[in-house]
């Protein structure tokens, strides 16, 4: 294919785009809606993931130690826990920090604070706060701690006082949280996929209708001996223009929308600001949205013209 043929193809595609102004406008609007839905599902997926991760981050298992347990022994157990593949992090809270946190959490309960003052000493022991990589892995971590308690019982006195995972209420809360997050993630994924497929199908059929108006022209070109690619190429150029313009419009629409919603999503959805996320990941959004529009326009045009090439 020489340069003259390429110029003719692009010129023909541009002429068809401008000549069929109303059809082009309708196709761009429908594709803009499609790409807007694609972009919205990206934001929805990010918000859903962030919210679920925030919920998972609230889950933990606390190991309470016997009062006056040497820190060296606690740190040794902490290192053993951190070596487990299921553990994401282990935070050490000293007895003094635990007492300060307890006072802050019970500022309105004067009787409890007075009782602490009358004791004259710290009744709390140190704590290890364990976060697993997944909620389902807390059972494995709890079994490891149970083994540590059993080993200590056979020799010297154990340093572990209690593990809150073995409390039935806490364990059931972790199970319910895992069920909720897993179900929400599955349902969210299904809804997002169905929404994208539906809007892509609508946009695809709209482009097919746009090319339907040129069916007679395609058949005449085929009868006079024009090659299949030479017939297809201008319509593919037209489809690429639809996708490119719709993609740019969609990106422009997202800027004020995410700016307006940024503070709201930061307050209600796990602390993520969609405007900041959009600006920080703009190259990704440009690639996905504009790329989807261009590929969809070219592919839909290529497939729609095929049926009219059969004489």
pLDDT tens sequence across 1-26? 567 666 776 776 677 777 777 777 88
Residue 189 pLDDT greater than 80, yes or no: no
Residues 220 and 291 grouped into a single domain: yes
Residues 130 and 263 grouped into a single domain: no
Last residue of a domain, one of 158, 193, 213: 158
Residues 85 and 152 grouped into a single domain: yes
In a domain, 167, yes or no: no
Per the structure, the count of domains in the chain is 2
| pTM for the structure as a whole | 0.68
**If you average pLDDT over residues 110-139, what whole number do you get?**
76
**If you average pLDDT over residues 223-233, what whole number do you get?**
66
DSSP assigned state of 124: -
**If you average pLDDT over residues 258-280, what whole number do you get?**
77
CB atoms within 10 A of CB 130: 26
In a domain, 26, yes or no: yes
The CATH number for 91's domain is 3.30.70.3040
Mean residue pLDDT across the chain: 77
Residue 124 pLDDT greater than 60, yes or no: yes
CB atoms within 10 A of CB 26: 15
In a domain, 169, yes or no: no
The answer to whether 292 and 35 are in contact (CB under 8 A) is: yes
Residues 43 and 139 grouped into a single domain: no
Higher per-residue confidence, 32 vs 270: 32
Residues 107 and 20 grouped into a single domain: no
DSSP assigned state of 166: G
Question: 253 pLDDT band (50/70/90 cuts)?
Answer: very high
Residues 42 and 98 grouped into a single domain: no
Nearest to 250 by CA among 38, 14, 86: 38
Residues 182 and 276 grouped into a single domain: yes
In a domain, 111, yes or no: yes
Residues 302 and 194 grouped into a single domain: yes
In a domain, 165, yes or no: no
Residues 120 and 261 grouped into a single domain: no
**If you average pLDDT over residues 79-108, what whole number do you get?**
80
Residues 301 and 220 grouped into a single domain: yes
Q: Which domain holds residue 109?
A: 67-158
Residues 140 and 198 grouped into a single domain: no
| Residue 283: predicted pLDDT | 92
| Residue 286: predicted pLDDT | 92
**If you average pLDDT over residues 104-130, what whole number do you get?**
72
Residues 27 and 112 grouped into a single domain: no
| Residue 151: predicted pLDDT | 55
| Residue 122: predicted pLDDT | 67
């Amino acid at each position: 294919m020489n340069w003259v043929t390429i110029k003719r193809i692009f010129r023909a595609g541009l002429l068809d785009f401008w000549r069929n102004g109303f059809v082009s406008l309708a196709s761009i609007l429908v594709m803009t809606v499609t790409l807007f839905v694609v972009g919205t599902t990206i934001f929805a997926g990010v918000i859903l993931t962030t919210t679920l991760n925030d919920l998972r981050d609230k889950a933990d298992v606390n190991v309470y130690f016997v009062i006056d347990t040497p820190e060296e022994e606690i740190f040794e157990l902490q290192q053993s826990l951190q070596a487990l593949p299921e553990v994401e992090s282990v935070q050490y809270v000293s007895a003094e920090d635990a007492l300060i946190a307890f006072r802050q959490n019970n500022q309105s309960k004067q009787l409890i604070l007075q009782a602490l003052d009358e004791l004259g000493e710290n009744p709390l022991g140190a704590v290890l706060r364990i976060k697993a990589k997944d909620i389902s892995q807390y059972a494995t971590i709890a079994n490891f701690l149970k083994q540590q308690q059993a080993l200590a019982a056979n020799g010297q006195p154990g340093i572990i006082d209690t593990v809150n995972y073995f409390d039935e209420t806490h364990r059931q809360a972790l199970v319910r949280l895992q069920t909720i997050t897993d179900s929400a993630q599955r349902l969210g994924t299904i809804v997002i996929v169905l929404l994208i497929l539906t809007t892509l199908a609508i946009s695809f059929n709209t482009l097919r209708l746009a090319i339907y108006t040129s069916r007679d022209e395609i058949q005449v070109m085929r009868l006079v001996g024009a090659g299949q690619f030479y017939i297809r190429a201008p319509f593919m150029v037209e489809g690429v223009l639809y996708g490119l313009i719709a993609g740019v419009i969609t990106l422009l629409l997202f800027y004020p929308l995410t700016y307006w919603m940024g503070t709201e999503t930061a307050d209600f959805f796990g602390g993520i600001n969609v405007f900041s996320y959009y600006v920080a990941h703009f190259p990704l959004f440009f690639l996905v949205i504009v790329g989807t529009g261009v590929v969809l326009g070219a592919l839909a045009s290529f497939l729609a013209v095929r049926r009219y090439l059969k004489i």
